[in-house]
Amino acid sequence: MYPVMLSLAGRPVLVVGGGRVALRKVRGLLAEDARVTVVAPAAVPEIEDLAEQGKIVLERRPYRDGEATSYRLVLAAADDREVNRRVFEDGERAGVFVNVADDPELCSFHLPARVVRGPLQVAIASAGRAPFAVRRLRQLLDRRLGEDWAAWADAAGGFRERVLAAPGLAPEAREAIFDRFFRETVDPATLSARVPDDGEMDEWLREAGTGRRTPGPGLVSLVGAGPGAPDLLTLRARERLAAADAIVVDRLAAPALPRDLPPEVEIHDVGKDAGHHPVPQEEIEALLVRLAREGKRVVRLKGGDPFVFGRGGEEVEALEAAGIPWEVVPGVTAGIAGPAAAGIPVTHRREAVALTLVTAHECAKDEDQVPWDLLARQRHGTIVGYMGMATLPRVVERLLAGGMDPATPAAVIERATLPDQRVVRAPLAELPAAVREAGVCPPALFVIGRVAARGTPRERARRS
């Protein structure tokens, strides 16, 4: 099948049949301003009403042999297959395209299912073989493609006219600027679109003419990549990544990088993970400032949330001191999402009315910044610890010394939300040995409190 989009405005089209299927065909044709004639011995009330309003011609009679030859296009939806067959054969002899509803053998063309958003149309077809699947795909896309696509398509059409009217642009430069329009306004992961403002489009045209970006400070977006699974990125995070010129990424956030980034996007891997910082923090901050001063849109991609043990506050201070514009795109923090992925609610009525997030590597220092003795005395709270595998024995020792019950439920979640996630559960006093025996490695979180005993049997079987 060769797909085409036909202009039917003012052209004569015949519909044979007067039932509900014929009504759908008539409405689709009228939407394209076709001149519609319906031939049927009887018609549903809606077709009768369209005829009374003068929107169609209705001839209440059987189909006459050969009359299909007088039309540019014919659609047959009669209840009698023999009638439909005669319509199809008449069209074949005269070279007129005919579609018979739900009868692929009697079709010289097929009608695709469509999703329409203003001037934008997405057509789906299966060469008549699986119309049920086509209908369901159309429903899926109809839900995914929001109404903002109509305004986007209008903007794209206007932008194309401006590009074609711009003097001195070579064909390859035009294609590059069209690529940029699409890249900066469409999120392929979420099938969402935004309408750029006139200032953005003016900038793209100027830069296409000069071959370089307008000088001036760029923008640094501190973006949270979420707890691990790439599909837990927020919509705004995906938008910033799609529009980035440069991305500075930690190792644990790297799986969230889109696979379809343009090749010209700079990727700066600073390799940070728990307890291992091959690129010093000061060098990362200097890199962000340098890239932004080159006029680039920079994404600083961090695991979890930038402001939860991500040193995002320090990077914001460095950007402020350098006069660089910045923003924060919050992420799903691992301290809540990790336990949730293991079926553990960090709060629960009458069990946990307080939640404490701690960075457990502080326990390796001579003077702990975490008041473990106070945390040990709370009976209705949950402790979630980041970066704590190396210091877990010390954490448990401090909590037990502070009076926490050795039988307090506890768990460690390794690689939370990822396909190879593991959960190790044990009473508090036995947790370090259980983790050591299981060979748990970072990244991992620990959860201590009564809620750590929770989690559905299905989740335990699937994840443990």
Active site residues: 250, 272
**Rounded CA gap, 222 and 331, in Å?**
10
What is the torsion angle, in degrees rounded to the nearest 10, for the CA atoms of residue 330, residue 331, residue 336 and residue 337?
160
Element (H, E) at 341: helix 334-341
Beta-bridge mates of residue 413 = 423, 445
**Rounded CA gap, 7 and 72, in Å?**
11
**Rounded CA gap, 195 and 202, in Å?**
14
Residue 236 is encoded by which pair of tokens? 């705004």
CA 401, chain centre distance (Å): 48
**Rounded CA gap, 236 and 232, in Å?**
12
Residue 102 is encoded by which pair of tokens? 């739900």
Contact 259, 228 (CB under 8 A): no
Beta-bridge mates of residue 354 = 381
**Rounded CA gap, 395 and 222, in Å?**
31
Contact 394, 365 (CB under 8 A): no
C-alpha pair distances (Å), 454 with each of 426, 438, 460: 12, 20, 9
